[in-house]
Structure 1
Amino acid sequence: MTTGTGRMRYLRHVPRRFKTSFREGTEAAPKKKVAAASA
């Protein structure tokens, strides 16, 4: 989970956008990272 430290910086506000419209625009890959970071 090394990405959690470096990616957490931008992942903080990313999950909110992914759930809204980004979720449909992007693939399931980003969603997995967001869920893992959230958990």
Structure 2
Amino acid sequence: HNYTTEEELCILEHVIKARKMGVTTDAKIWKDILANG
């Protein structure tokens, strides 16, 4: 799956937000991304 730039920015935003909240595991970050779409 090739991500569009928009999708990448959205994912990046989620990752940054998650890291700020102290979420360090990628699995939790991805679960969060998938849950929030």
TM-score range, shorter chain: 0.3 to 0.5
Higher helix proportion (structure 1 or 2) = 1
TM-score of the pair, normalised by structure 1: 0.38
Higher relative contact order (CA 8 A, sep 6+): 1
TM-score of the pair, normalised by structure 2: 0.40
